[in-house]
Amino acid sequence: MIKYLNGNKEFDNSNLIIFFYKWRKLLIFVTLLALIASIIFSSPWFITPKYKSSVIMFPVATNSVSKVLISQNSPIKADILGFGEEEQAEQLLQILNSNLIRDKIIAKYNLLDHYGISPDSRYKNTKLFKEYENNVKFRRTEYLAVKITVFDKDPQMAADIANDIAAFVDVVKNQMQRDRAQMAFKIVEEEYNGLLADVQSIVDSMGVLGMMGVNDYERQSEVFNQQLAIAIRNNDKSGVRELEKKLKLIGQYGGTLLSLKNALEFKTEQLTLLKAKYREAKVDAEQELPQKFIVNSAYKAERKSYPIRSVIVIVSVFSAIFLTILVILFFENFSKIDLKKNE
């Protein structure tokens, strides 16, 4: 099919033209056959068309509501309205790939039946999960956003699944955080209530001492000693007995009162600090915020995304022509070899 002129490495395409002309009928037939076959076999009768819907969202910068909104001494300085960075995007991708979200979507849309998988199949879950992974894709964009892409034969279902996956991110992530936050809140609550009970016990004990007449050890001792000196000078025996009785009572319980006052001051400071933690833990355990910012929501696609029939047709036609040429060349050269052997 190719020859060289005068022994030089100059390509002569005359034989190439002759070759195509010689086999034109076969090549035209193969081209038409490949064209018709590719059009037929890429039709909905053989390949189920699928529609694509996508959601694009950014992760949030912070997860703790209390640390951003309530705490005064928190090292976290992230803006509650700020977009997350690479770390948060990777965490979001991990949640999207979790079986928690996958199982929720499978159950809500009955994907076992929707994908045509028999419930009696021995490997029904393997087939179901593989089909789900083929139709549901997650990836991080170059702008640190996360893109959810869903393919389905039903364009509305593709959009609904994509939007529901985005919605389930809040459900799953908030649930994981709430479980931990509630345990933390329970610990802080027990400590807070215990400390509150200790403070109340000290206050009650000081109240009992107050009812006994022991209110201020130092001040009362000073006053009673001055009054005792006056009573002794005035030879007021009943007054002396009464004052000595009071001084004895103060001497007996004065140390206890001072100890209770010091303990009350210390525990009150602890209670103030713990109360702040109690409020923060309570907010984290009870309040929820969205865990992502939706940039683009999914909508019902108007045109299918798979298969791309034009690509299938073009590739099929050119592949058929190329393969036919190879077969022709093989048989031509094989025939020449046989002729030389016969000579």
User: Three-state SS across 56-68?
Assistant: EEEEECCCCHHHH
Q: In the predicted model, what is the mean pLDDT of residues 68-93? A: 69
pLDDT at 72 exceeding the cut of 70: no
Provide the CB-side half-sphere exposure for 151 (13 A, CA).
15
pLDDT at 44 exceeding the cut of 70: no
Which of 49-53, 203-207, 248-252 is least confident?
248-252
pLDDT at 11 exceeding the cut of 50: no
Which of 41-50, 128-137, 156-165 is least confident?
41-50
Q: In the predicted model, what is the mean pLDDT of residues 301-311? A: 77
Q: Using alpha carbons, select from 290, 298, 296 the residue that is nearest to residue 84.
A: 290
Q: Do 304 and 158 form a contact (C-beta atoms < 8 A)?
A: no
Q: In the predicted model, what is the mean pLDDT of residues 135-160? A: 93
CB neighbours (10 Å) of residue 110?
9
pLDDT tens for residues 235-270?
666 666 666 666 666 666 666 767 777 888 888 888
Question: What pLDDT, on a 0 to 100 scale, did the predictor assign at position 3?
Answer: 47
Contacts for 118 with CB less than 8 Å, ≥ 6 apart: 124
Give just the sign of the alpha carbon dihedral 130, 136, 140, 144.
Answer: negative
How many residues make up the chain in this entry?
Answer: 343
Q: In the predicted model, what is the mean pLDDT of residues 175-204? A: 86
Question: What pLDDT, on a 0 to 100 scale, did the predictor assign at position 202?
Answer: 82
Arithmetic mean of pLDDT over the chain? 79
Burial 118-151 (b: 16+ CB within 10 A, else e): eeeeeeeeebbbebbeebbebeeeeebbbbbbbb
| pTM listed for this prediction | 0.65
Burial of 45 (0-12, 13-18, 19+ CB in 10 A): exposed
| Of 52 and 273, the one with more pLDDT | 52
Question: What pLDDT, on a 0 to 100 scale, did the predictor assign at position 166?
Answer: 94
Question: What pLDDT, on a 0 to 100 scale, did the predictor assign at position 218?
Answer: 58
Q: Do 88 and 61 form a contact (C-beta atoms < 8 A)?
A: yes
In angstroms, the CA 112 to CA 116 distance is 6
Report DSSP letters for 125-151, one per residue.
Answer: HHHHHHHHHHHEEEEE-TTS-EEEEEE
Question: What pLDDT, on a 0 to 100 scale, did the predictor assign at position 139?
Answer: 93
Which of 21-30, 154-163, 277-286, 330-339 is least confident?
330-339
CA distances from 42 to 20, 35, 152 (A): 29, 11, 17
In angstroms, the CA 193 to CA 5 distance is 103
Question: What pLDDT, on a 0 to 100 scale, did the predictor assign at position 2?
Answer: 46
